[in-house]
């Protein structure tokens, strides 16, 4: 029997989902919904979708669906996901899982109550050499893993479409947008240890400057109220540690650097998910020799398409979801931990990440008025 899919949010990434579903036999996108009916109609015309809606709730009520792809901006991940799960559908929601730990917890809770599948669009996990190295690491290649270093750095890459630069719509900047991919990948490769404490600091150095040139399209500088650089340090319950940095804009040497480094007592790996130098490299030592291994010959596969094909296999009951919502909730905890730590100026325990308390609200107010003053005087200087 054919699998009936609905798409919620018909922008850029929804196209990748549609192209992925199109490669799967007996899968139909039967309806799509977007708050912009025009976008939904364009999407429907491009991907042969029979019915369009301007409200996903109407689509959920009127259509007989098996699953939905939630491809809306970050602020609209939690509500449609929870509504679809409660309507008895399986959900593939785009990254980041949510805007906050509280939202991510609601999504995990809804999946557990409904007993429906929930997964998040972390396509790095579907890159063939990353799946290869994951298996080798799980077999013990690195021994006792004690350190990870995660980079998700762009030199000039603030998204110039959508509302990625507006905190209310995105939940944050570079960290929640691209750091989340790298974090999901490295924490999974490290064996999904439980984060215990997080410390971090975020910076808004370029994105709100009138003179700043971004190679990824234009946006209103005065609306930019998120970080363009974040750094953090995480301690896990198994004793392992992780340091990370994420940027949309920074004076780095490369256009992009998404290098992930993992160290264990038997070996280390460097993973570059895409771009120049993409692949994995394994380092170890034997007697007096240093050993470097570069596995090669991997098939060229499109990770977004692989992700959808895997999702369809899950829907058919032929596979188990690879990107587990509980793992993504932990990544959300790390991200929120970094934001919270930056606001408070101290390390935070993951267990204290509940809805913001008085201390956080006060720190936020103070920071936002001093950031506005700084940006006004920086723009006056330019």
Q: Which one, 54 or 284, has the nearer CB to ligand NAD? A: 54
Enumerate residues 6+ apart whose C-beta is below 8 A from 230: 172, 173, 174, 175, 179, 200, 201, 202, 203, 244, 245, 246, 247, 338, 342
Longest CA–CA separation in the chain, Å: 69
Round to whole Å and give the CA distance between 341 and 52. 43
Q: Mask: binding to ligand NAD, 235-274, rule CB under 6 A, as x and -?
A: ----------------------------------------
Closest separation in Å from C-beta 155 to ligand NAD: 19
Does residue 9 touch ligand NAD according to CB under 6 A? Answer: yes
Instruction: Check if the beta carbon of residue 21 is closer than 8 Å to that of residue 29.
Output: yes
Q: Which one, 15 or 191, has the nearer CB to ligand NAD? A: 15
For 347, the token pair is 């390390």
Applying CB under 6 A, which of residues 5, 7, 8, 282 lies at the interface with ligand NAD?
Answer: 8
Closest separation in Å from C-beta 209 to ligand NAD: 24
Q: Mask: binding to ligand NAD, 105-124, rule CB under 6 A, as x and -?
A: ----------------x-x-
Round to whole Å and give the CA distance between 85 and 91. 7
Does residue 34 touch ligand NAD according to CB under 6 A? Answer: yes
Stretch that binds ligand NAD, among 2-10, 243-251, 281-289, 351-359 (CB under 6 A): 2-10
Does residue 10 touch ligand NAD according to CB under 6 A? Answer: yes
Applying CB under 6 A, which of residues 18, 33, 78, 353 lies at the interface with ligand NAD?
Answer: 33
Q: Mask: binding to ligand NAD, 147-186, rule CB under 6 A, as x and -?
A: --------------xx--------------x---------
Stretch that binds ligand NAD, among 4-12, 100-108, 192-200, 279-287 (CB under 6 A): 4-12
In DSSP terms, which residues pair with 263 in a beta bridge? 147, 268
Does residue 17 touch ligand NAD according to CB under 6 A? Answer: no
Does residue 13 touch ligand NAD according to CB under 6 A? Answer: yes
Angstrom distances, CA of residue 34 to CA of 39, 81, 262, 318 = 7, 14, 40, 31
Does residue 58 touch ligand NAD according to CB under 6 A? Answer: no
List the beta strands (DSSP E) in the chain. 3-8, 27-33, 51-53, 67-70, 90-93, 118-120, 145-154, 195-203, 229-236, 241-247, 256-257, 260-264, 268-272, 279-286, 289-293, 348-349
Q: Which one, 161 or 213, has the nearer CB to ligand NAD? A: 161
Q: What is the CA radius of gyration of the chain?
A: 21
Applying CB under 6 A, which of residues 11, 143, 191, 279 lies at the interface with ligand NAD?
Answer: 11
Instruction: Check if the beta carbon of residue 149 is closer than 8 Å to that of residue 269.
Output: no
Report the number of secondary-structure helices (H) and strands (E) in the chain. 12, 16
Does residue 356 touch ligand NAD according to CB under 6 A? Answer: no
In DSSP terms, which residues pair with 343 in a beta bridge? none
Q: Which residues bind ligand NAD (CB under 6 A)?
A: 8-14, 33-36, 39, 56, 71-74, 76, 94-95, 121, 123, 161-162, 177
């Amino acid at each position: 029997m054919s699998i009936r899919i609905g798409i919620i949010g018909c922008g850029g990434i929804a196209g990748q989902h549609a192209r992925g579903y199109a490669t799967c036999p007996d899968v139909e996108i039967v309806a799509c919904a977007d708050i912009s009916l025009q976008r939904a109609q364009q999407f429907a015309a491009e991907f042969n979708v029979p019915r369009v809606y301007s409200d996903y709730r109407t689509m959920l009520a009127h259509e007989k669906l098996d699953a939905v792809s939630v491809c809306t901006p970050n602020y609209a991940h939690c509500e449609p996901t929870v509504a679809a799960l409660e309507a008895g559908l399986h959900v593939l929601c785009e990254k980041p899982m949510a805007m906050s730990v509280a939202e991510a917890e609601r999504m995990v809770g809804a999946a557990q109550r409904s007993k429906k599948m929930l997964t998040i669009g972390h396509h790095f996990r579907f890159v063939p050499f990353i799946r290869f190295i994951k298996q080798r690491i799980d077999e013990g290649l690195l021994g006792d893993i004690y350190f990870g270093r995660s980079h998700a750095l762009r030199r000039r890459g603030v998204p110039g479409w959508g509302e990625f630069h507006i905190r209310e719509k995105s939940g944050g900047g570079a960290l929640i947008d691209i750091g989340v991919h790298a974090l999901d990948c490295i924490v999974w490769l490290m064996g999904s240890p439980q984060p215990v404490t997080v410390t971090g600091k975020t910076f808004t150095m370029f994105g709100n400057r009138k003179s700043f040139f971004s190679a990824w399209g234009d946006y209103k500088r005065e609306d930019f109220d998120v970080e363009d650089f974040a750094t953090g340090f995480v301690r896990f319950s198994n004793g392992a540690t992780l340091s990370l940095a994420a940027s949309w804009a920074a004076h780095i040497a490369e256009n992009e650097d998404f290098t992930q480094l993992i160290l264990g007592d038997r070996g280390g790996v460097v993973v570059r998910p895409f771009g120049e130098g993409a692949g994995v490299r394994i380092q170890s030592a034997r007697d007096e020799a240093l050993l470097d291994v570069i596995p090669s010959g991997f098939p060229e596969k499109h990770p977004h398409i692989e992700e959808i094909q895997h999702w369809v296999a899950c829907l058919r009951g032929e596979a188990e979801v690879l990107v587990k919502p509980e793992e993504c909730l932990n990544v959300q905890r790390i991200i929120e931990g970094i934001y919270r730590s930056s606001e408070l100026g101290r390390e935070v325990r993951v267990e204290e990440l509940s809805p913001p308390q008085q201390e956080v609200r006060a720190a936020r107010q103070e920071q936002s008025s001093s950031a506005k003053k700084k940006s006004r005087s920086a723009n006056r200087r330019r």
